[in-house]
Amino acid sequence: MSKDETQIHPSAIVHPDARIAPGVFIGPFSIIGANVTIGKNTRFDAHAFVEGHTEIGEDCRFFPYSMIGTEPQDVGYKEEVTLLKIGDKNIFREFCTVHRGTAKGGGQTVIGNDNYFMAYAHVAHDCSVGNEIVALNAASLAGHVTVDDYATVGAFSGIHQFCRVGKYAFIGGYSCCTQDVVPFCRVAGDRPTLLYGTNSVGLRRRGFSRERIAAIKEMLKILLYSDLNTQQALEEIKSRFSSGEDRDELIKFVEYSKRGFIKKTGNKWEKNSG
């Protein structure tokens, strides 16, 4: 078919009120509900299921048995009209589940662009996911979780409701995070989840210079490995480092943390930490 053609398999069930842009492919036995909007060149493989007030951007890919836009798993949900918004170029592998928001939680679940959700990953109601995150197999975000850009959530890991995961953070497999994960950090483990220094490998892969990584490591050392309390550490960072993207991101994240953030360390700070 041409790039502008829409192809719907004869066995698929697509509600006539669904809004489907050119170039969409809907595979065998897939189901698309009445209030769904689908952007150009998005593809649904066999047995994909999309319902509710769901907006999907362009060039997304939904693998078999992905369940998108279904009702939130919230006992207080009373069939209110709530939303799921998904941006462009997202990939949802087999058996992924993504739920709409709740009225009490802001009314919408939002996913940005260029994200990769591996098989069995779960995004619960009222979550906010940024851009270019990776959620590995069976990674689960509880309700009201925020995951910022470029973060990685390891396989079989769970993020407690209302927690936040900062930019460029890395969460190891089988972790259970009940507090916020500071930007640029590595954490891993289950009860407790421990801090393992800077996500230096991830930062290098994202094009961070050696000097930039060194400055981040020094800021994290002050915040997480010194004898200063949080407020003292922030003041020390402000006094020693001029305003900039990384410094401001770290300070803003910590200042707005409501659940506290993971500080218990799994290793001593060393020159080769991270």
Beta-carbon contacts of residue 205 (< 8 Å; ≥ 6 apart): none
Say whether 126 is catalytic: yes
Please pick, among 45, 74, 88, 126, the residue that the annotation labels catalytic.
126
Please pick, among 101, 130, 143, 154, the residue that the annotation labels catalytic.
143
**H or E segment and range at residue 141:** strand 140-141
Say whether 143 is catalytic: yes
Query: Is 56 in contact with 37 (CB distance < 8 Å)?
Result: yes
Of 141, 219, 134, 143, whose CA–CA distance to 170 is shortest? 134
Of 163, 153, 168, 174, whose CA–CA distance to 126 is shortest? 163
Please pick, among 57, 125, 149, 166, the residue that the annotation labels catalytic.
125
Residue 150 identity (one-letter amino acid): Y
Query: Is 76 in contact with 124 (CB distance < 8 Å)?
Result: no
Beta-carbon contacts of residue 249 (< 8 Å; ≥ 6 apart): 166, 167, 183
68's tokens: 């998108």
217's tokens: 């490591």
The alpha carbon of 57 is separated from its chain's Cα centroid by a whole number of angstroms, namely 16
Return the number of other C-beta atoms located less than 10 Å from residue 243's C-beta: 8
DSSP assignment of 50-117, as one string? E-SEEEE-SS-EE-TT-EEEEPPS-TT--S---EEEE-SS-EE-TT-EEE---GGGTSEEEE-SS-EE
Q: Which residues are catalytic?
A: 125-126, 143
